[in-house]
Structures are given as C-alpha cells and as structure tokens.
Homo-oligomer: A and B are copies of this chain.
Amino acid sequence: MATMQDVADRAGVSAKTVSRVFNDDPHVLPETRERVSEAMRTLNYVPNVLARTFRAGRSSSVGVAVPDVVDPFFAAVVRAVERVCSASGITTLVTSIGDDPAREKPVLEALLRTQLMGLVLAPVAADHAWLAPWTEHTPIEFVDRAPIDLDADSFVEDDRHGSYLATRHLLEHGHTRVAFLADQTHPPSSRRRLAGYTEALADAGLPLDERLIAFDAGSDDGAARELERLRRLTDAPTAAFSSNARVTMHAFSALKRAGTAFVGFGDFPMADRLTPSVSVIDQDPARLGRLAATRALERFNAPKARYEASTVVPVGLTVRRSCGCP
C-alpha cells in the first residue's frame, strides 16, 4: 500500500504537498498538482483511513444497535440510519444486541470505544445509567424505547394512543371482552400499550379484567396456550389486541382458529396477504431511524445546541379484515 511519502518521493515533492493535493487545498500550483496526481495514479494511492481517523480523533461512523436486524421493524430502522449517514459519507456500524439484556453493556461498550460520531440505540436492557459518561463524548439517540435513568434523546411511537385506537376500534365492533396479548420484551412500551388499552375500555365504561391479559404470547406454543386459557374462561373474549408484531405473528394461527377478531400493534410483511388480512397500528420505523440519525449528526456538529429530548411519533390504524371489518 502506497503512502503519501511514496507518492511524494515519486513526484519529487514533500508529503505535505501530496496531502494538499489530496484535500483539494488551493495553494498548490496546477503543474505541481498534476505531477502529484500522476504519481498518485501510477502508485494507485489510497489514503489510509485508519491514520486519518486516528489523527482526527474521531471515526467517521455512526453506530446502530438493535435487538435483532432480522426483525423487519429494526431492519427498517437500520436502513434509515444507513441512508441518512451514507448521504454524508458516514459509515454505519450495525450490531444486533440479541434478547439477553446482559449482553447489552459489553456490546455497546465495544461500539462506543471506537469513537463513534453517534449511536442510535434500541435497547433491550432496563437500565442505562452506566451510559452517562459516554454521552459526554458521543450523542446517544434512543429509538423505539426510551432511556431509563439516563438523560438522552428518544424517538418513540405513540404507544398509548395506538393501543387506544386499536382497542376502541374493536369495541366499536361491539366486542365487550377484548383480550390483551403481550410477551415479556421491553416492559416500558408494554406498559404504555396496556395503559392505552385500559383507557379505551374505561372510556367505553368497561372494567379491566386481569384474566384477559396474556403475557406469554411471544411464541407459537405460548400463544396457543394463552388462547386456549382465554377460550375456557366463563366469559371468553371475542376479540384481542396484540401488543406487538412479534406476538401478532406468533398468535395469528391460534387467533384465526378461534375466530377471534383482532388488531395488532405494528405492521409486518405479508400482513395484508394473510387470511384474514391483519388490521394493524401502523408504525413508521424508517421515520424513527431517520430522525434519530439526523439528530445524532446534528448533535455531533453542534454539541451545545439545545434539542427536544423526547419525540413521540404518531401512529395510525390500518384497517384490514382481522378486526371484523367487511
């Protein structure tokens, strides 16, 4: 690999001049510039990014850490961040944290050590206090899930309102017994979604029946078990609100079998092609990613400016068939 010095030797100039040519510094005679360019070409000179980065004290990349890139929701976040960054010539360092909260800290530390320009994070752990020292050097933007015990930007969907919409829609179809399906992942969102559900019930003058809440619907088996339990209730539910896409996908077959009307929080691929097609609360993960990445770069460029810490993105109801609509 040719270095600046190699090019300089060949062109009969100093390394600094090569540097100038490379960085389009105007203080170079056209003739010199040409000689240097020539040398760069013949030697196939490629600047050493590592050296530049080191010198600059900052890498030119943004990190993205999500629970799982295979989840379409997070994949969309990742792609949005990539888009924003690549437009500025910034590379993206993607990591899947996985389901285990204990892995989060080591994974993020490894990322942050690389002197990122910023980090877009959809966390799985429930405590982010330890990130505080890092926020002084690196803008950290939370997406989908707000930080816990940490002062940082967050970009989240309107969980409460989405759940409210979904539940109300089912109630408007005449259902009075609506189950709430969830899994154990990220309690804060879950809690907000439960709150929207409860609120819709209350507005309809309906009581909250704890037995209608299923917290183990995150797998095919779990969903089947929970739905079987619900079916056996004396006053069995006739409708269900699934509080996230993962649950909706796993519970789909069981819901269909039981003939239960349902709405899910979060769209997913082929939801509109299933029979019945699935009515969903429509999130916009790309928007979350875009906003977060943009903010990260803004903060990087103007660390002292003041920003809105918490951004709540509205969600809407996409009506298809599973809710009972014709």
Residues of A within 8 A of B (CB): 1, 44, 46-51, 53-54, 57-59, 61, 68-70, 72, 75-76, 78-79, 82, 86, 89, 91-96, 107, 110-111, 113-115, 133, 137, 249, 252-253, 268-271, 273-275
Partner of A273, one of B68, B75, B79, B253: B253
Q: Give chain B residues whose Cβ lies under 8 Å from the Cβ of A96.
A: 79, 82
A271 vs B1: C-alpha distance in the bound complex, in angstroms?
Answer: 49
Please state the number of chain copies in the assembly: 2
Q: Give chain B residues whose Cβ lies under 8 Å from the Cβ of A115.
A: 48-50
What is the minimal beta-carbon distance from A65 to any residue of chain B, in angstroms? 11
A72 vs B72: C-alpha distance in the bound complex, in angstroms?
Answer: 7
Asked whether B89 lies within 8 Å of A79 as measured between CB atoms, the reply is no
What is the minimal beta-carbon distance from A93 to any residue of chain B, in angstroms? 6
The residue in A70, A96, A115, A269 that gathers the most chain B C-beta atoms within 10 A of its C-beta is: A70
* Contact status of A49 and B113, CB under 8 A, knowing A54-B54, A96-B82: yes
A–B complex contacts, Cβ < 8 Å, 18 sampled: A1-B137, A46-B113, A50-B50, A50-B54, A50-B58, A69-B79, A79-B96, A94-B94, A249-B269, A249-B270, A252-B270, A253-B273, A269-B269, A269-B270, A270-B271, A270-B274, A273-B274, A274-B274
Asked whether B59 lies within 8 Å of A70 as measured between CB atoms, the reply is no
Summarize A's interface: helix, strand, loop or mixed.
Answer: mixed
Closest 5 CB pairs of A and B: A94-B94, A54-B54, A275-B275, A70-B75, A270-B270
Residue of B nearest to A82 (CB): B96
What is the minimal beta-carbon distance from A252 to any residue of chain B, in angstroms? 6
Asked whether A114 lies within 8 Å of B49 as measured between CB atoms, the reply is yes
A54 vs B54: C-alpha distance in the bound complex, in angstroms?
Answer: 7
Q: Given contact pairs A92-B94, A249-B270, A252-B273, enumerate 5 new A-B contacts (beta carbons under 8 Å).
A: A50-B54, A51-B54, A69-B82, A70-B79, A92-B93
The residue in A72, A95, A115, A273 that gathers the most chain B C-beta atoms within 10 A of its C-beta is: A273
Asked whether B91 lies within 8 Å of A110 as measured between CB atoms, the reply is yes
Q: Give chain B residues whose Cβ lies under 8 Å from the Cβ of A253.
A: 273
* Contact status of A93 and B95, CB under 8 A, knowing A70-B76, A70-B79: no
Asked whether A50 lies within 8 Å of B49 as measured between CB atoms, the reply is no
Residue of B nearest to A58 (CB): B50
What is the minimal beta-carbon distance from A132 to any residue of chain B, in angstroms? 12
Asked whether A114 lies within 8 Å of B50 as measured between CB atoms, the reply is yes
A200 vs B264: C-alpha distance in the bound complex, in angstroms?
Answer: 43
Asked whether A44 lies within 8 Å of B111 as measured between CB atoms, the reply is no
Q: Give chain B residues whose Cβ lies under 8 Å from the Cβ of A79.
A: 68-70, 96
